[in-house]
Amino acid sequence: MGSSPKSGTRPGRTLLRQEVVEGIKRYILDERLRPGDPLPTEPALCEALGASRSSVREAVKILDALDIVEVRHGHGTYVGRLSLSALVESLTFRGLLSPDDDFRVMADLVDVRELFERGMADRIVSSLSAEQLDTLDGLVVTMRETGAGDGHGFVAADRAFHALLVAPLRNDLIGQLSMAFWDVYTIVAPHLRGFTHADEAATVAAHQNIVDAARAGDTTAFLKALEEHYAPVRLRIAEARARSRG
């Protein structure tokens, strides 16, 4: 008989490992360490936490996967970037795993992406600098010249566009969440049966309308442009969901 993946894991060992994980996190907070700051050596962590080397190593692996710490081989362990990579991995896996939930995940991601941009519309429009607007225009040109068929170039320009759109908010959490949800969407979408991509010309035009409205300082037009951008995406998700059920 085959054994389950967890058959070799003892409850006591799992509890101890989690205690060491929490101990390292508590150390980072107590010492007010920042991303990039070095952590004590492995022997020092063992002594400080009263844990074995194997427990510390397992805990560091867990924290490394969560981007809370970063292991630089040959150099030591440092406080990580604290990015949302674990969230991206989790949402992506959920979107790809369940055929019943995948389109629901996609719809939710679109709602959240639009929520950030619509909810902060006034601040975005009033805060975008002339240089940032020029950069947004340049990204639209890149999208127009590369085309969706180019793959990486079009997608990279689209991602950079939405990242720059929320950059004036100077809110790192909104920026990270916005990009995390964008990344999950672009990873999951190609795997959904029946899902079709947006009309290339319409996508480029919607992005241009967003820039033009922001440059004119017209929040109403900006909101309309966002609606025109996201409405077709929702429609394609709904249509694909209906086809998959049929």
Neighbours of 93 (CB within 10 A): 13
Would you state the torsion angle of the CA atoms of residues 145, 147, 153, 158, taken in this order, to the nearest 10 degrees? 100
Mean pLDDT over 208-222 rounds to: 97
Per-residue pLDDT at 198: 65
CATH classification for the domain delimited by 85-245, as one of 1.20.120.530, 3.30.950.10, 3.40.50.1360, 1.10.510.10: 1.20.120.530
Per-residue pLDDT reduced to its tens digit, 155-173: 889 999 999 999 998 888 8
Q: What sign does the dihedral 101-106-68-115 (CA atoms) show?
A: negative
Per-residue pLDDT at 5: 41
Q: Where in the chain is the domain with CATH 1.20.120.530?
A: 85-245
pLDDT at 177 over 50: yes
> How far is Cα 166 from Cα 143, in angstroms, rounded to an integer?
19
Per-residue pLDDT reduced to its tens digit, 118-146: 999 999 999 999 999 999 999 999 999 88
Q: Where in the chain is the domain with CATH 1.10.10.10?
A: 11-79
- Provide the mean pLDDT of the chain: 82
Per-residue pLDDT reduced to its tens digit, 178-196: 888 788 777 776 665 555 5
pLDDT interval class at 83 (50, 70, 90): low
C-beta pairs of 233-239 under 8 Å, 24+ apart in sequence? 233/110, 233/198, 234/107, 234/110, 236/195, 236/196, 236/197, 236/198, 237/103, 237/106, 237/107, 237/110, 237/195, 238/107, 239/194, 239/196
Q: Convert 177-194 to b/e letters by CB count within 10 Å (16 or more is b).
A: bbbbbbbbbebbbeebee
Q: Is the pTM of this model over 0.85?
A: no
Per-residue pLDDT at 98: 59
CATH classification for the domain delimited by 11-79, as one of 1.20.1050.140, 1.25.40.340, 1.10.10.10, 3.40.190.10: 1.10.10.10
Per-residue pLDDT reduced to its tens digit, 34-45: 888 999 999 999
Per-residue pLDDT at 242: 76
**For tokens 């809370």, what's the residue?**
68
Contact call for residues 68 and 36 (beta carbons, < 8 A): no
Mean pLDDT lowest among 102-106, 143-147, 224-228:
102-106
